[in-house]
Chain A
Amino acid sequence: MVETRPDVAWLEVHTENYMGGGAPLAYLEAIRGRYPLSLHGTGLSLGSAGGLDALHLERIRRTVERIEPALLSEHLSWSVSGGRYLADLLPLPMTEEALDVVCRHVDQAQTYLRRRILIENPSTYLRYRHSTIPEWEFLAALAARCGCGILCDVNNIFVSASNHGWNPLTYLAGLPPAAVGEIHLAGHSVRQIDGRTLRIDDHGSRVIAEVWTLYEVALSRLGPVPTLIEWDVNVPPIDVLLDEAAKAASKLAAHAREVAANADAA
C-alpha cells in the first residue's frame, strides 16, 4: 500500500492489532500518511454485564491518539465474561436490560475517547427465547439514546435475515439514515446443519450478488455512505480486493449521479 499507492479512498484495520509498537505500528503510520484510516475494534465488549475493561479502553484511546482515525467503530455484541475474553462476537439478548447496559457502555466509551463511535450490527447464528426487541429497533434506540452512529454491515443484515427468517428490507428500513456513518460489505460461507442452511460471516470470499443488490437498496435508503470491503480470512491477491473495492466505489458513484439527476429533474 505504501509503495504502490493503489487508488482507494480509505482503509480500515482492527484496533487490537496496533496496540503495541514495532513493525506493525510503523507500517500503519506509513499508510496513515497516505490514506485516511478507520479503526474497527473487536474487543471492547460493549454488551458485557460485568462492565468495560478500563485498560482496554485506555489502549484504544492511545491508539486513537496516535493514528487519528477518521472513523472509530465497535460491535453490538459481547466478548468478555468474568474478565475472560472469548475472541468472538457473541450475540446479546435483545432486551431492555441489555439495551440499558450497552447504552451505558457506549456513553462511557464516547466520554472517555471524546468522540463519537459507530456501532456495527452483528451476524448472528442463534436467538434467545427472552429477546423482545427486533435488532434494528435495538440499534435505532441505541443511536437515539447515546448519539452514537451505526456501522451498517449489509452482509451481516443478509446473513442474519437469512438465518432467522427476517426480511432484510425491514431491517434496512428500521435503521435511522442520519445515524449511519459507514457501510461494510463482505463475503460469507454457507453451512448445512440438520438439513437447514446457516450462513456464517467469515470475510473470506467475494461479496455475493444478493448482497450487492441489498447494498444498492441500502445506498438509496441511507445515501452515499463510505463503504468498506472486509476480507481478512483467505486473503486474496491485492488486485482481487481492489476489484471488489472498485465495484463498491462504482455503485456509490452511480448512486451519487442518480441523486444529482433527480435533483436536476426536480
Chain B
Amino acid sequence: MPTLLETERMMYASVVGRDAEAAASQIIEDGIAPLARLGIHRNNFLGALTAVLRQSFPAVHRLVGAAFFDHAATLFIETLPPNSAYLNEYGADFPAFLERLPQAAALAYLGDVAQLEWAVNAAFHAPDAEPLDLSRLAALSPDEHARVAFVPHPSLQIVHANHPVEEIWRAVLAADDAAMAVIDPGPAPEWLLVQRTDWDVGVERVGEDEAEFLAILCAGRSLQEALQRVPGLEASAALSGHLGAGRFVDFTLIEHGEARRLAQAPR
C-alpha cells in the first residue's frame, strides 16, 4: 500500500509529467479508465494555470494567437509549475521562457512585451504602501541628505527593453492595427517606469540616465552614490520628480563609512 507521500508523487507525475502509469495502477476503474479519470486533473491543472497566464499577458496572447499561446503556456507550466498557491505571483519567468522559445524567435520584441506585461501585473497586485512624507526629508541636515537610502514603493518596476515596447504594447491592447502599422519594431533601447498610483498602473518612458539613477536608489544605495554614478543627470529635478510621484515610501540613513565604501564600489 503506497504511503500518502508516494501517492501524491505518483499523482504529481500524472498531472505534471504526462507519466500516469503508476498513479493509474492505484485507481479503481469502476467503468471509467483510470487514465481518463486522471486526465480530468491534468486538464484542471493546465486549464487553471493557462488562464492565469492569459490574464497576466493579454498583449502576448493577442500577438501570438490563442493556439500558440496555449502551446507555449503548456510547455512553460510543465517546466515550471507554481512554487506558491498565491497565483498572482505566477508567471514572472514566462517572459524569459518566451525569449528562449525557438518558435517565438520570429517575433523579436515578444519577450520585451511580456516583460512589460509582467511588470504591469506585478504593480497591479503589489502590496499597498503610503508615499514618503516629504516633511521628514526636509528635516534632515545637508550631511544627512547625502546618506539617505530610499525604500521604493512595492509596485515600482523599471523595465529595460530593446524594442519600442511601450508603443507596441498600447497598440496591441487597443487592437489598433493602424497604429501597429506605423511602428518601427526594430531594435531601439527603451526604459520604462511602471508604478501603481491609487488603483491604476501607469507606464512612463524615461531616459537611460534617469532609469539608472532610480535603479541605484531602488537597490537601497545612498543618494550620494546615485548622484556620483550618474553625473550627467539633472539630479535635483529627477529626485523631486520621483518624490512627487510617490515612488518612495521610506528611507534610512547609511553610515558615513558605508556610504563611502558603496560610492567607491566599481560600477
Contacts and interface: CB of A to CB of B under 8 A. Distances in A.
Interface of A: 16-17, 19-26, 42-45, 47-50, 53, 55-56, 59, 78-88, 90, 92-93, 95, 97-98, 101, 125-130, 164-165, 193-196, 198, 200
A44 B84 CA distance: 10
B41 A88 contact: yes
B127 to A, nearest CB: 4
Contacts of B154: 21
Given A22-B196, A55-B84, A125 B28 contact: no
A49 B84 CA distance: 16
Nearest to B44: A88
Contacts of B87: 16, 85, 87
Interface string B7-27: 111011001100000000011
B85 A130 contact: no
Contacts of A85: 81-85, 87
Interface of B: 1-5, 7-9, 11-12, 15-16, 26-28, 30-34, 36-38, 40-41, 44-45, 48-49, 52, 81-88, 124-129, 154-155, 196, 199
Contacts of B28: 126-129
Nearest to B43: A88
A67 to B, nearest CB: 14
Given A49-B3, A81-B11, A98-B4, A21 B125 contact: yes
Given A98-B4, A164-B30, A22 B85 contact: no
A196 B29 CA distance: 12
A-B complex: 10 closest residue pairs judged by Cβ atoms: A43-B85, A21-B128, A20-B125, A49-B5, A126-B37, A87-B48, A88-B44, A23-B199, A81-B12, A49-B4
B189 to A, nearest CB: 29
Given A22-B155, A85-B84, A196-B32, A125 B40 contact: yes
Contacts of B9: 81-82
B44 A56 contact: no
Contacts of B37: 125-126, 198
Contacts of B16: 84, 86
Given A53-B85, A97-B4, A129 B27 contact: yes
Nearest to B196: A22
B12 A86 contact: yes
